[in-house]
Every structure is written in structure tokens, then in C-alpha cells.
Structure 1
Amino acid sequence: MSTLAMFGGRPAVPGGTPPPAWPVITEEDREAVLGVLRTGRFTAAAAGEQEIPALEREWAQRVGTAHCLAVANGTIALSIALTAAGVGPGDEVVVPALSFVGTALAPVHLGAVPVFVDVDPTTFNLDTAQLTAALSPRTAAVLPVHLHGLPADMDEVLAFARARGLVVVEDAAQSHGVAYRGRVTGALGDAGVFSLNVSKNLPTCGEGGLITTDDPALADRAGVLRQFGERLPDRGERPYVSEVAGWNAKINAIQAAFTRVQLTRLDQAQARREENVRRLLTSVAELPGFAVPTAAPDRGHGWHILRFRVRPAAFGLVRSQASALREIVMRALRAEGVAVSRYQTTPLSDQPVFAGRTVASRSLDVPVTRAVLDDSFVLQRVHLNPAAGPVLEMVAQALAKVWEHRDLLARVVDARTRDREPV
């Protein structure tokens, strides 16, 4: 039996192994950026600028919607989409308790109230069985998140919302181009919102966002909201007249040009990622101590983040020791050269901005979210590069090595938690 690296053994991922870079930047990407510099047209307000509208057309075509608007980032995209759909001060917006904080801050920036609901223990997406309990006379919208790249149960969400006249805005920040029952995320609700953050499956060289919709009125309002409440003319002088209280939320042409090139490689990169990740998950699924992320047969998965749950019983431990087990497993994996993290450490409802009543919010009980955050860890970015296959094989070996030493790790957990157990 090999020795764990944390106890002096050789790491499964040797030191000096370069992490697979993400995003992959080619000469074509560089040339696209330089091309914008040569034109001198950098914003949507610059006469003759073509990169931004071209990105909007291309993404609308890829998603299958009539309209797309490019904006400064994913969070402002959520705020604009909600506002354009009619959500405003005092309205309640149902959001999952497990997500990036931007999901909940977007309605807050409108004066709306996030209402937190629990998630499913396997998909980590909004548990549609909780929706009825979240309702109030002020409920205006549901904001499902396709967390980690797995589409939420959108048919169920839409049926619930349509029966009650509620708006549905998809947070598709992590699910670019992912299929759901014959359609694509971002084309399912009243509007879809994507992030182009440099860490995302479809990145820009910094920050950016996209709003998709089939509703021409919603698209028109969103276009005005991103530009100080102004309508920019197709030609002629800018009027500098604001119709509503909009934002300065424009993407720039360099970011659009960069993303357009990345978009040409999106499907090919995703296909390679699918192969690499599936191979990793197949290997790890053979280890009883870990639950691997899955995708249902009726939908794809973007595999933006890979979340693994530890199974205390398989290590001979009890549920109350899950957090300590997850902690020691993470320490062991990091010593093996695997860059694991937690990606969110508390339910959104527990974050100080909400729990401290800094802003108005409401929450149902979220025991599943707490359990998932207690016993899980994630892989981020290392698997996104299409050439990450060899490194992921080492990651699988590291997890197997940790499982091989399960008795030792369980004894460490027992020693650390014994005094905490109730008498």
C-alpha cells in the first residue's frame, strides 16, 4: 500500500505538473482582440461597432432564441432580465439556497426580496417540491439555477410558474449550450442569463454576460436598461435622453470579439470535456466512499464544476462526522496535488447580508443544502481544458489512494471528533 502524501508519500499528481490552463488562448483569440484595437471602436455606442451585435446574433442562434443582449457581467444580467420582466421593489423572487451569491443579490439590487428554498441532494438544483411552500401574495418570479452545468427541472418549474402567472428567469451562468429535453438552457424561461466570466465554459477575457429571450418587449426593455435608460439609434447622433432609470451595463467590443472566437470552439471543447469527465467519474464511482455528480438521460451537463460528496458510513463513521471527514479528505487530496475546494461554505440564507437582515429576505428550512455543503468538495477549472484527460487520470488515482487509506483517515476523524460527540 502506497503512503499518503500528507504522511510523506509521493503525490499522485507530481509536483511540477502544470495545471491545464483555462481558458485556452490561441493566436486566433489574440488576433481578434488586436483587430478591435485596430478599429478603435470599443463600445456599443461607437458608430460602426460590429463585434457586440455579432456576438448577440451568434449566441441567440446557438441557444435558439429570437433575441440576445450582451452586458457587463452575469449578475447585472440577472438584475436587468428581472427588471425587464416586470419584477420590482417589494416583489419576492424564489431562489435556491445553494448557488453563487450573485443569484440572490440580483433581485436585492431591485428592491425585491429573495426567498430561499432547498435543493435536491443529487442534482443540487432547486427542489421543485418546495415551491408551493415558498409562495406568498408577493411572489413574482422563480429564479432556477442550472448549478454546476446541470439543467434544473425546468418543465416542473415552468408548469408551476405558468399556473400562477409568475416570471421565470434562468440562471444559466454555468450551463452554456447544455441540452434539456430537446432544447437548450437559456431558451426555456421568459429569459435566460449567462455569465462570460473568465472561469466559465464560454469565457471572455474578464467579465461579461448575456441575456436571451423570445419576448421582443422584454428584449427591448433590457436593451434600454443596459444603456442608462437610453435608446441608441442604429445610425445618427446619440440623443442622450434617458427614458427609465437604467444601468451602465455594457460589454465592450474586445470582450465580445474574444468570446466570439471562444464560441467557435465551445461544442468541440464540451465534447472532449464530456469524455474526460465521464472517464473520471466512472473511476471514482467504483469507490464506495464518494458520491459522484450525475446527469439524467433527458438532459446534458456542462460539467462546469464537479461536486463530490463523502459517505461517512463507507468509512465506518456516522453522519455527524461528515464535516470532519470531508475536511481530512480535502487535506489528503491537496497533499496529493489535487486542487479541491468547497465552492460555497454556507447556504445563501446564512450569509451575513441576508441572515443579518442587512437586506430583506425570507427562507424556508434548507437541511439538504446544509448537508451537501457539510459533506462535499469540488473540482474547479482543472477539468475544463479539453486536454485535461491525463491530469484527471491522476486525480482519479489520488481519490483511489485516499479511499485505500480509509481506515487511517477514519481513525484521524474519530480522534478529532470524539470529544464533540454527545454523551
Structure 2
Amino acid sequence: MSRLAMFGGTRTLTAENKEPALIGWPVVTDAERESALRVLDSGQFTSNNTDGEVQLLEREWAEYVGTAHCAAVSNGTAAIELALAAAGIEPGAEVLVPAFTFIASAIGPVQRSLTPVFVDIDPVTFCMDPAAAEAAITPRTRAIVVVHLHGLPADMTAFRALADRYGLLLVEDAAQSHAATYLGARTGSLGDIATFSLNVVKNLPTCGEGGLVTTDSADLHREVELRRQFGERLQGARERDYRSRRVAGNEKLSAVQAAFARAQLTRLDEYHEARTRNVHALLDRLGRLPGVVTPYTPSDRTHAWHILRLRFDPVALGRPEVAPGALRAILHRALRAEGAPVQPYQVVPLPGQPAFRELGHRAEDFPVTCEVIEDSLTLQRWHLNPASGPVLQRIADAFEKVWEHLDVLCTAAAGLDHRPAWQPREKAGV
């Protein structure tokens, strides 16, 4: 049995095993370089009312997703805000948001003076639980923001029925689910309106920030377009008239970012297929380890594999006395020492974030989210590169090495004074 790196042994993954060409993201090729030069040579650096890079990206993404319309905006958070603004939801109304997601999913509603109402998640898919969502609906509820977390589509059949039953706007936050499908349709075409992020770490990245809003509704699309540049109507106009038809800010996408994203879009499916093969090969090995719960993909949908979340079950390891959070903490240390890029992600439920806790929200009110955070770690970004297959296999080697030492690690975990990140210090006697 080889010695763990955390105890002085040799690391499983070294610098030679993780060359930038294998794990770097985004992958920048001559196509991206030429796209930037094309914009520089054109002199059209921002959105315009002709066939510029922004308009071409909008058309190509609408065609790819399968919607009638697409509007490009400055980032994914702006996309959520503009989607809600386009529907004309009155200030103070409630919007359902998962308790387990990136904070941008709730910031979009807050920026429109709407009230986010947090909803617990399904423990298997990590997406919003439809039954919990229905229980959270009140007479003030106007919309549901459904997040396809980590790249797995949520149960959109259930949410479509829920939205129709209560007359609610159904918004897809598809920031992490580019190329994923549900019942054969791509995310971004499943709700009333959908939002995407083009942040540099996303599966469809640009060279910085960007966002896309897709819909089949001409009315919603028109309102998004009006609100992304000072309420001005640009589409179809020969020149800018500087007339603001809505009170709105400036949330446009630049032409350079659009051109970069267009180059990436030409390889999205190719990268998605390679990523899926590489991830499946990794999860096939990790799934054989006792106590490791790998991501589950229902048969009616496909996964974009933006983030890989692994759960760890002390009971399955025969160590029920070990707290899940303590086990996760010790495994985190051991795997990081071996060079595996595991980390906690979203370390507190969204309602447990200080910004929302001050408004009276409590993380403990969302037990499933708390359980998932406590017993899981994530793998991020390395696997996005289509050439990462050999590196992912080295990561599997690191897991197998650590699992050879589970008795020692579980004993150490049992002695840890572990406190969940969202637990107030006074409850821990600190």
C-alpha cells in the first residue's frame, strides 16, 4: 500500500500530468484569434442594428437551441434580470428560486425589486424539487426560476405543469447547461424564457463575460431588447434615435465577446461529446468505490457536465459514527494532497448567505440542500477540456489510492470537531 501524499508519500498528480493543453479552459484556437482580429478590422466594437457579430451570435444560438428569438446581453445575471423585467412582474412579487444554486439566480430577481422565495432541492438531481416548489407558492408568486444545476436539466414536465396551473412565468436558468437536452429538446427552449451565461468558465464561453436570453415569445424578446440599451429600439432602425421607451440601463454584449463565442459554438457539440466520454470513464471507476455516490442522469435527459458533484456516504463505508461533513473534510484534504482538484462548491445554502440571512432566511430550513453540501465535493473545469481524458484517469487513480487508506482517514474524521459552514458560531459553543 503506497503512502498518502498528506503523510509524506508521492503525489498522484504532478505538474507533468496536468499540462495546460489537457486541462486549460477555454480552449483558444486560431479561430478565436481570427474572430477578435475580424472585429478589430471591422471597427464595429459594440452592438449595432446590422449583421454584426452580436446579431449573428443571436441567430446562431436561437437556431441551435430551437427557439424563435435570442438576445445577447452583458452577462448571465443581467440575462435573469432582463427576463423577469420583460414579463412586467410588479415590484414586491415573489419568485421561486432553488436554495442550492449560485447567488446570481437570486440576485436577478432582487435587482428587479422582487422577493426570492427559496425552495429545497431533489437529493438526486440537485435541482429544485417540484413538490417543494408547489408548497412555496403563495398568492404573491409570479414566476419560477428553475436552475439546471451543474448541467443537468430539471424536471421541466413537472415545472411546466406547475407554472400552467398557477399562471406563473417559467424561467430557465441554463447558465450551466449548454447542449444538454430534456425529452430531446435543448435547455433554453423548455420554459417561457431562458437565460444563459457565457462566462469564461462556462461550457460555451466567451473571453470574459456575456449572456443570452432565448424565448419563443416575440413580446418577451422585444422587451428584453428594449431594456438592454437604455430602452432604445435598435432592431430594424437605420440609425440610433436616442429615444428611451423604457427606464433601463446598459447591458449589451460587445462584438469581440460575441465573435469569440461564435467560434466556440462551432465546436460545442464536438467538445460536449468528448467531455461526456471522458466523464463517463471517470465516473465508471469512481462509482466502484464504496461510499461514493456519483451523479445520476435520468433516462429522459442528457447532462452537460459543467460541474461534477460526488457525495460520500459514511454508512455505506460501515462507519455510521462518522459525520458526513467530517468525512468530506478529511477526504478533501487527502485528495487535494494527491493533486486531485476537488473542492467544496456553494458551501452554504443560498438562504444561508450573509446577504440573505440578514433578511431573516435560515439555511436550516432547507435540509436536503444542507445534507448535499455537507457530504459532497465537486470537480470543476479540468474536465471541460476535451483532451482531459488521461488527466481524469489520474484523478481516478488518486481516489483509489485514498480509498486504500479509508480506515485511517475515517478514524481521523471521527475525531474532527466539525461544524457546518452555515451553522451560527453560538450554536457550536464558539
How many corresponding residue pairs? 419
Q: Structure 1: any 5+ residue segments left out of the alignment?
A: none
- Greater displacement, 312-321 / 276-285: 312-321
Query: Secondary structure, in 3 states, of the residue corresponding to 1:369?
Result: helix
Cα pair distance change 1:247/1:320, threshold 3 Å: farther
For residue 316 of structure 1, report the CA deviation from its aligned partner. 3.5
List runs of 5+ in structure 2 lacking aligned partners. Answer: 420-426
Partner of 2:423: none
Cα distance between partner residues in 1 of 2:362 and 2:289: 39
For the pair 1:411 / 2:399, whether they are aligned, the reply is no
1:365 corresponding residue in structure 2? 365
Q: Which residue pairs with 2:24 in the alignment?
A: 21
2: distance between equivalents of 1:319 and 1:250? 54
SS of match in other structure, 1:143: strand
CA separation of 1:320 and 1:115: change in aligned 2, threshold 3 A = farther
Query: Is residue 2:34 matched to residue 1:31?
Result: yes
Contact 2:352 2:362 (8 Å CA) reproduced: no
The one-character-per-residue Cα deviations of 1:36-91 (angstroms, maximum 9, x if unpaired) are 0011101114x645100000000000000000000000000000001112223111
User: Match of 1:166?
Assistant: 168
> In the aligned structure 1, how far is the partner of 2:169 from the partner of 2:208?
30
Question: C-alpha displacement at 1:14, in angstroms?
Answer: 2.1
> C-alpha distance in 2, partners of 1:152/1:291?
19
Please, what TM-score do these two structures have when normalized by structure 2? Answer: 0.94
Q: 1:320 to 1:248 in 2, by over 3 A?
A: farther
1:233, 1:187 → 2: CA distance? 22
1:79 alignment partner in structure 2: 81
> 2:267 maps to which residue?
265
Displacement of 1:129 in angstroms is 1.1
Give the corresponding residue for 1:155: 157
Matched, 1:41 2:6: no
Please show how residues 229-244 of structure 1 align to structure 2 within 5 Å. 229-244=231-246
> 1:218 aligns to what SS in structure 2?
helix
Moved over 4 A (4+): 360-364, 417-421
- How far apart are 1:319 and its partner, in Å? 6.5
Q: What is aligned with 1:348? A: 350
Q: Which amino acid aligns with 2:19?
A: P
Q: How far has the Cα of 1:354 moved from its partner?
A: 1.0
SS at match of 2:316: helix
- Displacement after TM superposition at 1:418 (Å): 9.8
How far did residue 362 of structure 1 move?
A: 9.1
The amino acid across from 2:210 in the alignment is G
Q: Which residue of 2 aligns with 1:317?
A: 319
Residue 309 of structure 1 aligns to which amino acid in structure 2? R
How far apart are the structure 1 equivalents of 2:10 and 2:235? 64
Matches within 5 A, 1:244-259: 244-259=246-261
- Contact preservation (8 Å) 1:309, 1:377: yes
**3-state DSSP class of the match of 1:239?**
coil
The whole-number CA distance in structure 2 between the counterparts of 1:387 and 1:122 is 28
- Maintained 8 Å contact 1:316/1:410: no
**Aligned residue number for residue 128 of structure 1:** 130
Q: Which amino acid is 1:18 matched to?
A: E
Show the counterpart of 2:91.
89
Structure 1 residue 133: deviation in Å?
1.4
- Are 1:289 and 1:403, in contact at CA under 8 Å, matched by a contact in 2? no
- Does structure 1 retain, via aligned residues, the 8 Å contact 2:348–2:363? no
- How far 1:177 moved relative to its partner? 1.8
Of 227-236 and 99-108, the range deviating more from structure 2: 227-236
Q: Offset of 1:365 from its aligned partner?
A: 2.6
Match of 1:52 among 35, 54, 70: 54
Structure 1 residues 418 and 82 mapped into 2: Cα distance closer, same or farther (>3 Å)?
A: closer
Partner of 1:286: 288
Further displaced range: 47-56 or 125-134: 47-56
The amino acid across from 2:369 in the alignment is T
Q: Distance in 1 between matches of 2:392 and 2:112?
A: 42
Which residue, 110, 132, 143 being the options, matches 2:112?
A: 110
2: distance between equivalents of 1:366 and 1:181? 29
Question: Is the Cα–Cα contact under 8 Å of residues 199 and 381 in structure 1 kept in the other structure?
Answer: yes
- Cα deviation, residue 220, structure 1: 0.3
TM superposition shift of 1:342: 1.1
Give 1:204's aligned residue: 206
- Distance in 2 of aligned mates of 1:62 and 1:315: 44
Question: Contact 1:148/1:306 (CA < 8 Å) preserved in 2?
Answer: yes
Residue identity opposite 2:129 in structure 1: D
Determine the structure 2 residue equivalent to 1:387: 387
Q: What's the C-alpha RMSD, in Å, of the aligned pairs?
A: 2.0
Instruction: Give the secondary-structure state (helix, strand or coil) at the position aligned to 2:415.
Output: helix
User: Deviations for 1:88-108, whole angstroms, at most 9, x for unmatched residues?
Assistant: 311100011000000011100
Residue identity over aligned pairs, in percent, reads 52
Worse overlay, 225-234 or 118-127: 225-234
- Alpha-carbon distance between aligned partners in 2 of 1:92 and 1:319, rounded to the nearest angstrom: 41
Equivalent AA in structure 2 for residue 242 of structure 1: S
Cα pair 1:66 1:214 within 8 Å, conserved: yes
Deviations 1:239-296 (A, max 9, x none): 1111111120000000000000100000000000000000000100000121111211
Deviation at 1:312, TM superposition (A): 1.1
CA distance in 1, matches of 2:390, 2:382: 11
Aligned-partner Cα distance in 1 for 2:13–2:342: 13
Tell me the residue number matched to 1:182.
184
Change (3 A) 1:361 1:3: closer
The answer to whether the 8 Å contact 2:79/2:213 transfers is yes
